[in-house]
Structure 1
Amino acid sequence: MNGPLRVLLLEDNPADAELNERSLRKAGIDFESRRVEHEADFVATLETFRPDLVLADYHLPDFDGGRALALVRARDPELPFIFVSGAMGEDLAVAALHQGASDYLLKDRLSRLPAAVTRALADAEQKANLRNSEQSLRASEECYRMATQSMHDAFILMDDEGRVIEWNPAAERMFGYTREEILGRNLHETLVPQRFRGAYRHAWPRFRQTGEGEAIGRTLELVALRRDGQEFPIELSLSSMDVNGHRQAVGLIRDIGERKRLEADLEGYRQHLEQVVAQRTAELVEARDQAEAATRAKSAFLANMSHEIRTPINAIVGLTYLLRKRLTDPQSIAQLAKVGEASQHLLCIINDILDLSKIEAEQLSLEEIPFVLAEVVDHTLGILGERALAKGLTIERDIDSAVPAAVRGDPLRLGQILLNFIGNAIKFAERGRVQVRIRVAEDQGETLLLRLEVEDQGIGLTADQQARLFEAFAQADDSTTRRFGGTGLGLIICRRLANLMGGGVGVTSIPGQGSTFWSTARLTRVAVPEAAPACAGMGPGAEPPELILARDYRGMRLLLAEDDPVNQEVACEILSGLGLVVDLVATGHEAVERALAREYALVLMDVQMPEMDGLEATRRIRAQPGHAHLPILAMTANAFAEDRQRCLDAGMDDHIGKPVEPEQLYAVLLRWLPRPAAPGLADVTAPAAQSDEVTLRQTLDGIAGIDLEVGLRYARGKLTSYVRFLTLFAQGHADDLVALRRHLAIGALDEAQRLAHALKGAAATLGALAVCLRAQELETALGARAPRADIEARIAALDADLAPLLVTLARFRHAPPPTVPVPCEPDQVREPLA
């Protein structure tokens, strides 16, 4: 009970009412009370006060306690009602108890009141609980009845003898027996087919004793019998319960005939589908195999085309390089330079076609390596700087401070996009500037979406031209091709590459005012790689690989496996020119035999050769004892990434693509050749071979722009060392003027200033005082950010002193060394090329 006990006092004497309350209070009963003495007040207070207990006098002015009891019982049969009267005979008291009074006591025995109240309240609570239980039971029985009556499954209740004692309407519909017909009949004699009845009879004694059985607590699929004798499949769920010490079995039965028919139909359909799927799978496998075969054929075709195209270009590039080294006529050298440029341009077009083919075939994969973004930009600007300068264009570079210095991605493909965008900007602009901008478009912590923009002040594009600009084989219009040239492949390749890098491309343009091409790429932050130490102009690190090889590696023996006669001639002459001894073979078999028969410092292995290719030859060489660490380098026209990987997988150490760039070849050779135990066999420069030291001194003293005494102090008085330093100076600074103009064109004034500083120091050391002075003046102008015209004048003045000196020193580099010839040694004599 929540709160104080609500007590209604039916008493016409206030003093007696106070005694009743005092008795309850003395017993520690918490209560609140209302006192009434008339019938109307009594009825009203029952409704408003809602008492928990009524204490009533029997004799009242206008009605008696019997009437009050009747009023209470009409409203609440369990409300505790106690008579507390001054004069109430035994007959009257018994009658009151029969009428429903909870108790009675005389007013002179109020000490019994608390106990009577407690007992009356407890009795009332017990009656209320019993009433609630009965109501719940009736509700449960009604729910049970309604549930069994409305079930779609048959509900059967059986006693421990197997007789049916409950049967719902669903069971009537399922089996054909009415409830009246089946009650009391044995289950196994009515619903079980004849052939199964013995098993049922055998199971019931165990169930009767233990409540257990094979079917108890399980769901089984069985066969049942209808009243008309028809058998049909059922699903039976059987459970056991104990009712007053007697076992009863509850069965839920579902007719699964329709389900079985559907399952049979589905099984038939499944088997049919399996046959169809098997047939279709076979067709798909065949189609897949054909597609894979076509893809392999396409890949093989592309690789073969790459090989077949690059092989003659290799001859053009290589022979042009060799001729330029031999010739001294400026016109011939310039013409050969144009041949080299044309071959490189042709190679770029071929690379574009092959790239697009690889992209279309979904066979182009990207590298994921760390690189410095600014280096990629500067390298691209360095390639195109001369072109911009020739057209009077200024290239500006703007990399936002939020762009990380180092990222992870594919620097080659990113540079390819930049090269195309900037190259187009230079091609289509006749004036002004080209601005290269790099911004962070999205920053997701480790991952960045970078936006590259190239803005020009060129001819611009119409909206229609912009809409189809990135379509395959498209240009703005035919007049564009006639006026500016181009294949239309570059931008579609840029779009595909950007897509592969998780970005896109686009353009905004105004005709006649210029265009802004943009591309995005998703890259990953990495720690800034440790910078390589700067190379001083005359320090050992500044020596070109070609000079190091010619000086320190002369006489080392290499094996060259190459089947193409032109490539043989080019490679042999390049290598022999370094003083390396070259053994030549034309097949993989010959390469294996030679490598096992003789010790070589390094093997250059073509991949596609007759009889046995270079991959198999490498595997066989590696399989022999003592050849696990022999450097084997692939030198092949197969230039795809997977070609390189196949070479590495076969056991090769590195990959040199054709056409072979001599500088690249020198660098790779220097990386893999074993370090020599002693200096080269002919560490003597050409003029030093002269026996007359006086003649050599006179020759050196006659070089304009050189103070011999200053230079000899650096060389400690040794003429041969001084000549070698002059040769290194000429080699190391031959391209300084081109580099200075390129830096100026792209606005890299700091780089130009560092280059001028290095040239100044090297010239001062060797006594080239005029060059030193001009370099110092240029360094000062660059540091002060002098006007561009002033800087260009300083470069021209430097050119006037440096160019003649380099031409003079070139005679020392090109003169034949007085050493024993180091021939290329083929296995068999070949007819010389016409």
Structure 2
Amino acid sequence: MISMKLNGNKILKYLSHAVTVAKMSAKKYSGISEWWQNLSVTKKLYGIVGVMALLIASELLTLMFAMSTLSAVRAFIAGEGLWTKAQKDAIHGLYQYAIGGDEKHYDNFKENLVINEGDHIALIEMSKGKEFDRQVVRKGFVMGGNHPKDVDGMINLLTKYYWISYVNDAITAWISGDRLLEELKKSGEDLHQSIQKKRPRAKAQILNNIARINSDLTIVETNFSKALGAGSRWLENLLLTFLLLLVATIEGTGIYLTYRFSRNLSTTLKNLVDTAAEIGRGNFSSLAPVNSKDELGQVAMALNRMAADLQANAIIREQSEGVLRASEEKFRLLVESVKAERKDAEQRLYRLNESLEKRFESRTSELQDREYQMRIVTNALPVLIAQIDTNEKIIFANEKFAEWVESSTRNIVGQSLQQTVGSERYCLLDGYIKRALNGETVSFERSENVGESTPFETFLNITFVPEKDMTGKVTSFILVANDVTKYKEIESELKNAKEQADVASSTKSAFLANMSHEIRTPLGAILSFSELLLGQELKGEERVRGAEVIRRNGFLLSNIINDILDLSKVEAGKLDIERVAVHFDEVVSEIKSLLNLKATEKGIRLTVTADGAIPDVIVTDPLRLRQILLNIVGNAIKFTQQGSVDIKISLVSENSGAPKLRFLIKDTGEGIKPGHAKKLFEPFSQEDVSTTRKYGGTGLGLVLSRKLANSLGGDVELLASSPDEGSTFSITIDPGDLKKVIFQNFETRRLNAAPDIGITVDFSRVKILLVDDSLDNQLIVTHLLRSTGAKIDTANNGREGVDKAKQNNYDIILMDLQMPVLDGYGAVQELKQFGYMKPIIALTAHAMKEERVRCLESGFVDHLSKPIDRHLLTKVIDQYTKTRGELITTL
């Protein structure tokens, strides 16, 4: 019982405190409400706009925070890639050192740990807690390969949000990886000592320990990546939810402030109209309520003063009329005795009456002026206002309402609402009007098309407020409408932006996953066989096959990059198309020669036939035509396991227009499922997009071929396809003007074609200067030209190349563009200023036309793109050293 009593006393105490707080809050709110009511209409509008601006600013700050945090996560992901590559390269260096004992590999091992050492320094400093030196951490992260602008975000993410589980998991994985790297560093030192002291048993144990560390590091890297990925997705969902709530808050606040403002405005205007009507009927005691000190409140006070003045004038007039009656009685009694006084009294009475009439006219004019001022105020408001009686006749309307119905206030006052707004609008408003006339305040939104030549959709927020007399009977209602089109447009733009972002994210993820697979597959083959060739595992013919695997996968990797670049050029409208005369049979024979080996390896038959006469010469871009045929025919061979791939060539006319050259490629392969055919020509799309698909490919071949065919005046189409029966593709191009072209039988022309002629060159008397900062490129060019007998001298940068060119008599210079000390452009300009006249050929990894043009304008005589083709290199050198080289022609 005592406990219950004590609890009851506590409850009473809490209730008393709550009542006190409620009273204080109500008093504070009352003061704020009174302050708001006394503001001018303009300041209230500014206040509403200011609140909306603050809410939008909050949304922008939230977006900035989201971008900053996601940028920090992106920096960590990029840093993790550098960290992983460094430790993998370090371990690879240790293995190479263990195999060959070359100190160069051990030095590479220590150099690769520099990046990891920077992260280690940052980790050690941050482990000190709140007392850590931020500059030391910054230097550590920058030393680890991170961009200086990303470092502050990374530090904030680790120090301020470590309590988030995802960040904590990433920190844990980082600490584990750092501990393993320290262990790897110690094992590397032990391995160095064991090799120096020639202790093979200790060496084997250390290598086993290094393999274990490598495996543990892989697990730690995976955990780190998973933690960052999960954290990024969690943060994205959290920020998206917060942004949606903020948008909802902005919309709700806008609607609430607009509703409150519109309702207060309509109520005040209704009171003013009622008061003016009562004064007009002679009820001068009727006063308008004054609830604020703004413009409408001042109008109400002026209207009340006018009513008081009119009432005073009425009293004075009544008093004057009484005096007049008394005077008339006296005049009647004294008329015969005092005529002079009567005449004087009449004159004074006339003057008094004239004065009263003038005062009445003045007060009436003042009332009209007040009514005019009220109309000016309502016309200045950015909303539609009208007063409609119970018979649906318009009593009052401002100019905004008149503009809405395309009329004037003078013409619509007294008219029916249906006649004024039109039957179509009235049908939409009829139900709400009935509810307002029944005493219900109604708010709703509606849209309508505005304009005749170029109509656009506009949205209105409409409110009906009923007016009632003393008995509660509805006498009229006020219509207030506000244009909310801009808010709707903002809402629609936000929705569209989200949908576009979702589609872009999905497409990007699919493309990156596919590119990762397609690039890593040939890259893995190149790295693996390169490592085998460096070792002793492959002998004799196996080494030749290994080199062929490297070469084939290198070409595959180059083709993937070229496809991506070509597609980006087509999409940007910057693809260069040339139209030159070319012998058609040479193009077709080259394509068959290139693909016939691939078909023969798979045991399928590749045939090329012609349907009718084919032009001997066509005008087109031969490079792009070869690219299209290689893509389409190559796909047919790739998806055909047995049977044949047949190419039929013909000349067709489309819609009685200029003839087109058509290639029909028919295969007996797997075919295409009906539901997948429509996706063939979409960028980055394939029939099977899973990572375990049977065939490789980027998904760019068909879409690139179609765009190239469009550029050549034709198209690429899928004519027919059935699963397990094969597909038929059609390629058409514009062959140019055929009026003066000779037509022959394609098979006959191929039989009459001249045999191939092989050309080799003797460069034993040619002296070449090779300027390239890459020792690998120097070795490649030297080996490519070894069989020609050329004398090759090398320089490691542009400055060294210029000095050697001035001191020696070279026949030709091969020069890289991007080099330290002095690049290729600077070197060739210095040589030209010196008066150097020998040909200089540019060697560059840039294959763009703009780069070639820049080279020729800078002083180079020609341009070769990397990777360098042996035959093209030999041809260019022979072209510019004809007086030195000796052609040897063989059939």
TM-score by length of 2: 0.37
TM-score by length of 1: 0.39
Taking CA–CA contacts closer than 8 Å with sequence separation of 6 or more, which of the two structures ends up with the larger relative contact order?
A: 1
The structure with more helix, counted as a fraction of residues: 2
Higher Cα radius of gyration: 1
